[in-house]
Amino acid sequence: MQIFCPIFFSADVCSLCSWELPILVKGFKKDLSEDDLYPPLEEHRSKRLGDKLEELWQEEENFCEKPSLWRAIVKMFGLKFLIYGIVYIPVEFSAALFQPFFLKKLLDYYTPNQKEISKQQAYFYAFVILFSFLFRVLSFHSYRMALSVLGMKVRIACCSLIYRQSLKLKSSIFQKVTVGQIVNLLSNDVSRFDLAFTYLHLIWTGPIQIVVFAYYLDVTLGHTAILGFVILTICLLLQIYLAKTISSVRMKVALKTDYRIRLMNDIISGIKLIKMYTWEKPFAKLVEFARRMEIEEIRVANYLRIISNSVKILLTKLSMSICILTVVLTKLPLTSQYVFVASSVYEYLKTSVLGILVRAVIYISEAKISVQRIEHFLLIDKERRNLGKKVKRPNKITNDCILKSNNDLRVKAIGIHLTNVSIKWDSSLSVDTLKDIIFDAFPGELIGIIGAAGSGKTTLFQAILKEIESIKGTVDVKGNISYACQEPWIFSASIRQNILFGQDMDEDRYVKVIKVCALDHDISLFPHGDLTLVGERGMMLSGGQKARINLARAIYKEADFYLLDDPLSAVDVYVARQIFEKCILNYLKHKCVILITHQVQHLQDANRIYMVDKGKVTLINNLEKEFTRKIDNNSLKIKKETLKKYNLPTEIKEHRSTGAVARKVYKSYCKAGGNRLFTCSVFLLFILNQFLGNSLDYFIAFWINIEQEPMKPEVKLFFTTDNCLYIYIILLMFLTSITYATTWIFIKFCMNASKNLHNEMLVKIIRGTMTFFQNHSSGRILNRFSNDIGSIDETIPSMLIDTITFFLMLIGTSVLICILNYWMIIPTIALFLIFYFYGLVFQPSNKNFKRTEGTTRSPVFSHLAASLQGLPTIRAFSAEKILKQEFDNYQDLHTSAFYLFLSLHSTLGFWVDLTCSVYIGLVIFSFFILGTETYIGDVGLAITQSLIFVGTIQFGMKSWSDLDTQMTSVERIVEYTELIPEIDNGSNPLSEPWPNQGNLAFHSVSMNYSTNIPAVLQEVSFQVTAGEKIGIVGRTGAGKSSLISVLFRLFDFEGTINIDAIDIKTVPLSELRTKISIIPQEPVLFLGTIRKNLDPFDELTDFQLWNALDEVELKNKIVSLPLGLESMVSEGGSNFSVGQRQLLCLVRTMLRRTKIIVLDEATASVDVETDKLIQSTIRRKFQGCTMLIIAHRLNTIMDLDKILVMDAGRV
C-alpha cells in the first residue's frame, strides 16, 4: 500500500484532474492491485466513523423513547450535507436559467429578415451559453463527488455499527436473526447509502426548479408553453408512485434474499455432509425455489424501474406534443424559438431535475427501507446494554493482534453464585430449560458437571457467561472468566494467534500451556510450527487438534474461573490423562475449574459434582462406585486426529482477474439471457427506437422550416399544417409503443440472464470438489451469491439499458447534427476519438479498482461470519475491541479501493462534460460560418441536440464505465460457473441392486491432498467381509479420516476400492454415496424443518419418521415442539444440544437403510448414556451391515470383529 494519498495536496477543483493522473498512467501500463492503494483519509477511517455513530446511537437508545437511526445519521452528517447544498444550488439555478434565455436570443438572430440583433450580439449570446455550461461543469462534479463521499462515509459508519452490534448479540437471539441476514445488511442494504446521498438535495430543489422554469416559459413564450407541465406533473406523480411501489417491493426482495443467503450459508458450512448424504439435488432445488420467489419480486421491481425510465425518455417529446398540438389548434404560429427554447427547458428538467428527482425518490425510499432493517437489527436485543456490565474484564489492547490483561486493575475473585435461577432459551416454549438452579463456585475448586445429552449442561455455562438471560433468580459473578466452548472455535489465523487471542506473548507461559495441552508434538509436525495458518474454521486441523487449541486459548488466559465444556472428548486416554493431570489438576490448581465431561473417572478428584437432568441441577456429595459404573464403565478413548499436512505458509488469496473484462463475459451474459435470435431482437428494437426518436426530431425541424421559411409550392401543398400534425402524432404513437415493447422484452432478457447465471453457479458450487471448499472461504462464496448476484439482479439491467440508450443516442444525435451542418463532421469524428481515448485511459484503472473493491469486500464478510461463530468465546476473553479493530482494518482496505473508484468516476465525468461543452461551442459557432441563410429550424435542432450532450453523455459514459466495472460481478460468477466438478468416472447405473452383501476391499490405495506434499494414504490394502464390524484406530496423522474420504470419493485417489467386487470408480458418484451412510463426529443440522433434515426427498411417511425418532428416544422432545416434525431448526441447529443433533444424525442413517455404515467418532461429544443409546441402537438396527467405526471409547470397539490400526498413512 502507498504511504499517503495525493489528495492531501490537492485542495481545489483542479484536484479532479490532477492527483489521479499518476494512477491513470500506472493503470494504463500495468494491472493495479492492492499494493497500489493509498491509505484511507483520516476522515474516512472505519474506527473514527463507527465510534461517532455508535456514540450517537447510544444517545438515541438512552434518551429517546423510540430510537431513530435516521436521526443519528442526520446529527452526524446533516450539517455538512446542508452546507454542500447551500453552496451549490444557487450556482446551478443561475447557470440553468441563462441557457434558455440566451438560446432564444440567438435563435432570434437566425429568424429570416430580422434586423434587431447584430452579429456581435449573437457572438455574445453564444459565449454566454458556452460559459454557463463550463461553469456548471466545474461546480457540478466537485459537488457530486462530495456527496458521493458523504454517502460512502454513512455506509462505512453503518457497517461498523452493525458489526459492533453483532458482537453484542446474545446466543438466544440467533433464533431470531441469522448470519445470512447480517451479511445481507452489510452487502445490499448499506450500499443504498452510496446512491441515496448523491440525490438527496433534489427532493427539495427539484420542485422549486419546476416552478421557476414554468414561470419563465409562461413569461417568455406564453401560456401554451407551460401546458407541457401537465405531462411533466403527471409523469412526476407517476414516477413518485412507482418509486414508492418499488420500495415496498424492495422490502419483499430483501426478505427473500435474506432467506436465500441463509440457505447458501448452511449449504457451504455443511457441504461435506451434503455430499456424503447425496443431498445436492434437494438442497439445490430448495435454493432454486427460493431464487424463483426472489426473482418474481425482482422482476416486478425491474419492470417498474424500466417503465419509470421509459417515461423519462419520452418525457420531452410527450410534453412538447401537448404544446405543439395546442399551438396548431389555436392557430398560433409554430416558431423555432417557441419549439426549441421550450424543448431545451423540458430536456433540462427531464435530465437534471425530473430524472434525478425520481432516482432520488427511489434511492431514498430504498435507503429508508434499509435504515428500518438496520434499525430493527440494532434493537433486536434491547437488554444488550447490560451485557458488558456483568463481569469486570479489565483487559486492554496493546497492538493490532493481541489483548493485554491488566492485572493491576483486576478484580479479586470472590466466586460464582447462581440463586434460584430459571432459564428459557425460547419464550415460546412452555418448559424452562433450567429451573431453580442453585450453584456456587470458589477459587481453588474443581467442579464437575455431568448429565445426558440435551440436559442443559452447556446452558448452565451460558447462564454463567450471561449469554442467555435468566427469567428468574440472580446470577452473581465476581472475577475473570476464561471459557473453552464445546464446539471448538478456530478462526483464520496462525496457531499462535488462535492461542494468544488477546494477550501478550509470555514465552514461558506459552510453552507450558502448549505442553500441558499436549500440543507440542502436533506443532512439531506442522510445516511452519505454531505459525502455520489453520484456514477458515480450522480446515487444516483435525477435530482433536481444534479441541486442544481451543483449550490452550482458554488456559493461556490469566483468569479466576475456567469454564471447560467437554474438552477431553476428542483425545485418547493417554492425552486425556495428561491434560487432566498436568493442565487441570496441576497448572490450574490454584484456580477454579468448572469442567463439563462425560469421562467421570476424572471426577474422583473433584471437590463437587453437579448432575444436570430434566432442567434440574443437583449436587452429588459422593461419586459412588455404582454410579460410576452406571455413567461410564469403559471411558477409555482412542485418539482421533488426521493431521492435514498442507504446506501453506499463507492463506490462499482470492483470484482476481486482470485487464479488460473479457468479451466472453458479455457473451456469457447474453447467452444466459436467451438464444441468439432473442438477443438480436432485443438490440434491433433499441436501434428502431432510436431511429424513430431522431426521425421525430428531424420532422419537427422540417415542419418549422416549412412554417417559417419560403418553400417550393409543391412542398407546402402536401406538407400542410394539418398533415404535418397527423404525421407527427403517428410517429409519436409509434415511438411510444416501440419504447415500451423494448422495455418489456429487455427485462425478460435480463431476468433470464440473472436466473440462469445464479442457477448455473449454484450447480457448479454444490457439485464442486472438496479441495475447492478448503481453498475458498465461505465469505468469498457468499460474496458471489449476495453482492455479485445483487448487482446482476438490479444494478446491471439499469446500467445496461442506460448504456445502450446512450450509445445509440450519441450515434443518432451526432449523425443528425452532421446532416444539419456538414462543418461538424470533422469535430464529431474528433469527439468520438476523444471519447475512445478516455475509455482507453480510464477503463483499465476503473476496472482494476472495481475488481479490487470486490475482492477487498470478501474479507469483511468472512470476518463477520467467523466472529458470529465464536461470540461466547470472544466475549469471555473480552476480545471485542481487537475484533472491532480487525473489522475496521478490513473496512479501511475496502474504502481505499472504493474511494479511488469514486474519484476516477468523477474525473472521467468532469473531462467528458468539459469536452462536450467545447463541442457545443463548435456547433453554435459553426452556424456563424454558414451565415443567416441557414434554415432556422436546422439551427435550433442542431443546438438543442448538442445541448443534450452535456450531462447525458457524462451520464452515459458513467453508465458505460459502471456497466463495464459491474460486469466484473458477471465475470466473478462466470468464473464459478466454470469450476471443475467432482470427477465422476462412473459408467451407467448398475442394473441390479448393489451392494447386496457389503464386502469391502482396499487394494494399494494412495491419496494426497496436493501434489507438493507427501501422501496421507500409502498403499493401503485390507478386506472387510460382509457384515463385519471393523474398528479403526490410530495416532495423529495416521490417515483415518482420509480413509473415509476416499471411500466416499471426496478426493481422488490411486488404487482400487471394491464393494461387492465392483470398483467404486466405475459407479456413479450419486449412486455410490447413497449406498453408504455416515454418522459424523460434528453433527450438522440445516435450515428448515425437522422433517426436511431427516427426509429431504419427501420419500418417507410420518409413521416411519416418528418410529425412528422413538428408537433414539427423541420422539417426546419433537412432540413437545409447537409444530412437531414441521418445527424449524435454528441456524446451525442451535435449538438442539450437540447430543440431540448427533441422535438426529443417527436417525438419518437409520432411515437410509444401507449395507455399509461409517461412524466417524460419532459418540465423541456425547454423554455415556447417550453413547450407550447410540451403540445399542446401532447393534439392533444395523445387524448384517458392514461397519467401519473410528472410535474413542474402548467399549465402542471391544466387541467388534476386527481392529484396523493405522500409522503414517499405512495399515
pLDDT digits (tens, 9 = 90+) for 1034-1053: 766 677 778 888 888 888 88
Please count the CA atoms within 13 angstroms of the CA of 167 that sit on its side-chain side.
24
**Band of pLDDT at residue 416, cut at 50, 70 and 90:** confident
Question: Looking at the domain that runs over 1000-1206, which CATH code has it been given?
Answer: 3.40.50.300
Beta bridge partners of 1022: 1002
**Band of pLDDT at residue 1128, cut at 50, 70 and 90:** confident
Whether the CB-CB separation of 1161 and 1190 falls below 8 Å is answered with yes
Whether the CB-CB separation of 525 and 1036 falls below 8 Å is answered with yes
Beta bridge partners of 106: none
What is the SS3 assignment for 1031? Answer: strand
Query: How far is Cα 96 from Cα 132, in angstroms, rounded to an integer?
Result: 8
Query: How far is Cα 372 from Cα 380, in angstroms, rounded to an integer?
Result: 12
Amino acid at 40: P
Whether the CB-CB separation of 773 and 268 falls below 8 Å is answered with yes
**Residue position matching grid coordinates 494491472:** 31
Please give the grid coordinates belonging to residue 229: 407541465
Outline where 330-387 has alpha helix (H).
Answer: 336-348, 355-378
Amino acid at 1021: S
Q: What pLDDT does 1010 receive?
A: 65
Buried/exposed code over 90-106 (b: 16+ C-beta within 10 A; e: otherwise): eebeebbbbbbebbbbb
**Band of pLDDT at residue 430, cut at 50, 70 and 90:** low
Whether the CB-CB separation of 162 and 186 falls below 8 Å is answered with yes
More confident residue, 690 or 1171: 690
954-966 pLDDT per residue, tens: 677 777 777 877 8
131-189 pLDDT per residue, tens: 888 888 888 888 888 888 999 999 999 999 999 988 888 776 776 777 777 888 887 78
DSSP-derived pairing of the beta strands 434-441 and 415-423? antiparallel
Whether the CB-CB separation of 568 and 579 falls below 8 Å is answered with yes
Architecture of the domain defined by 43-380+670-977: Up-down Bundle (1.20)
Residue 273: count of CB within 10 angstroms of its CB: 18
Query: How far is Cα 593 from Cα 636, in angstroms, rounded to an integer?
Result: 22
Query: How far is Cα 605 from Cα 619, in angstroms, rounded to an integer?
Result: 15
Outline where 167-279 has alpha helix (H).
Answer: 179-184, 191-199, 202-221, 228-269, 271-277
178-209 pLDDT per residue, tens: 777 788 888 778 888 888 888 778 777 778 88
Distances, alpha carbon 429 to alpha carbons 390, 423, 1122, in Å: 26, 11, 8
Whether the CB-CB separation of 1135 and 1129 falls below 8 Å is answered with yes
DSSP-derived pairing of the beta strands 592-596 and 561-565? parallel
Of 991, 989, 1083, 981, which Cα lies nearest the Cα of 277?
Answer: 1083
Q: Looking at residues 1003-1023, what average pLDDT do you find?
A: 80
Q: What pLDDT does 1195 receive?
A: 63
pLDDT surpasses 90 at 688: yes
Domain 406-479+493-533+541-622 = CATH 3.40.50.300: yes
pLDDT surpasses 70 at 663: yes
Please give the grid coordinates belonging to residue 549: 487449541
Q: What pLDDT does 161 receive?
A: 92
Please give the grid coordinates belonging to residue 801: 439499458
Please give the grid coordinates belonging to residue 900: 479511488
Q: Over pLDDT 90: what percentage of the chain?
A: 6
Amino acid at 355: G
Exposed / middle / buried, residue 1115 (Cβ in 10 Å: 0-12, 13-18, 19+): middle
More confident residue, 6 or 529: 529
Amino acid at 2: Q
Query: How far is Cα 555 from Cα 683, in angstroms, rounded to an integer?
Result: 67
First to last CA, the chain: 51
R_g of the chain computed on alpha carbons: 36
Q: Looking at residues 1170-1190, what average pLDDT do you find?
A: 81
Of 840, 1162, 850, 888, which Cα lies nearest the Cα of 1032?
Answer: 1162
Query: How far is Cα 1173 from Cα 1179, in angstroms, rounded to an integer?
Result: 10
Residue 725: count of CB within 10 angstroms of its CB: 17
Residues 6 or more apart whose Cβ sits within 8 Å of residue 780: 654, 858, 861, 862
Q: What are phi and psi of 470, to 5 degrees?
A: -80, 140
Residue 174: count of CB within 10 angstroms of its CB: 17
Exposed / middle / buried, residue 269 (Cβ in 10 Å: 0-12, 13-18, 19+): buried
Whether the CB-CB separation of 534 and 501 falls below 8 Å is answered with no
Q: What pLDDT does 632 receive?
A: 42
Residues 6 or more apart whose Cβ sits within 8 Å of residue 236: 210, 354, 357, 358
Are both 406-479+493-533+541-622 and 1000-1206 of the same fold? yes
* Cis peptide bond N-terminal to 995, omega within 30: yes
Please give the grid coordinates belonging to residue 1036: 495423529
460-480 pLDDT per residue, tens: 888 888 888 777 888 888 888
DSSP-derived pairing of the beta strands 395-397 and 403-405? antiparallel
Residue 24: count of CB within 10 angstroms of its CB: 17
Kindly tell me the number of DSSP H helices and DSSP E strands found in the chain. Answer: 40, 22
Q: What pLDDT does 1116 receive?
A: 84
Q: What pLDDT does 639 receive?
A: 30
Query: How far is Cα 1111 from Cα 669, in angstroms, rounded to an integer?
Result: 52
Q: What are phi and psi of 533, to 5 degrees?
A: -75, 140
52-80 pLDDT per residue, tens: 999 999 888 888 888 888 899 999 998 88
**Band of pLDDT at residue 633, cut at 50, 70 and 90:** very low
Query: How far is Cα 53 from Cα 154, in angstroms, rounded to an integer?
Result: 9
pLDDT surpasses 90 at 691: yes
Q: Over pLDDT 70: what percentage of the chain?
A: 86
Of 850, 842, 836, which Cα lies nearest the Cα of 795?
Answer: 850
More confident residue, 509 or 657: 509
Amino acid at 559: A
Query: How far is Cα 572 from Cα 521, in angstroms, rounded to an integer?
Result: 14
**Band of pLDDT at residue 1095, cut at 50, 70 and 90:** confident
pLDDT surpasses 50 at 411: no
Q: What pLDDT does 709 receive?
A: 65
Q: What pLDDT does 52 receive?
A: 92
H helix or E strand, kind and range, residue 1129: strand 1128-1129
Query: How far is Cα 373 from Cα 368, in angstroms, rounded to an integer?
Result: 9
Whether the CB-CB separation of 667 and 738 falls below 8 Å is answered with no
Query: How far is Cα 1120 from Cα 985, in angstroms, rounded to an integer?
Result: 47
Domain-wise residue ranges, the chain:
43-380+670-977, 406-479+493-533+541-622, 1000-1206
- CA 984: distance to chain centroid? 32
